[in-house]
Amino acid sequence: MYICPVCGYDKLREEPYDNDGNPSYEICNCCGFEFGYDDSSEGRNFETYRKRWIEKGASWFNLKARPVEWDLEKQLININTNI
C-alpha cells in the first residue's frame, strides 16, 4: 500500500509516481486527487489541492472506502502535515 502525498491516505494500490516520475493515474479514494493531473500552473499541486479539499470539508471521493472511525488530523500525520 502507498501513501497519498496530498491527504495522507495510506491505502493507495499503486505508487503515485514511480522512480522515473511516471504517474499511476490512480485516483485517491480519500481526497480524489488523480496522480498525473498535478499541474502547478493550474494550481493543482499537492499543497493547494489539499488546502482546497480541506476547505471544502475534506469529504471522501469514494465514500465506500471511508473507515467508520476516520480522523483527518491523524491521517495527515502520515505526510507530516497538519491542518
Find the helix or strand (DSSP H, E) in which 53 lies: helix 46-55
Minimum Å distance from CB 55 to Zn ion? 15
Minimum Å distance from CB 36 to Zn ion? 14
Nearer to Zn ion, 9 or 76 (CB): 9
Using DSSP, state whether 1 is helix, strand or coil.
coil
Asked if 24 and 2 count as a contact pair (C-beta separation under 8 A), the reply is no
* Residues that bind Zn ion in the complex, under the rule CB under 5 A: 4, 6-7, 9, 28, 30-31
Minimum Å distance from CB 41 to Zn ion? 21
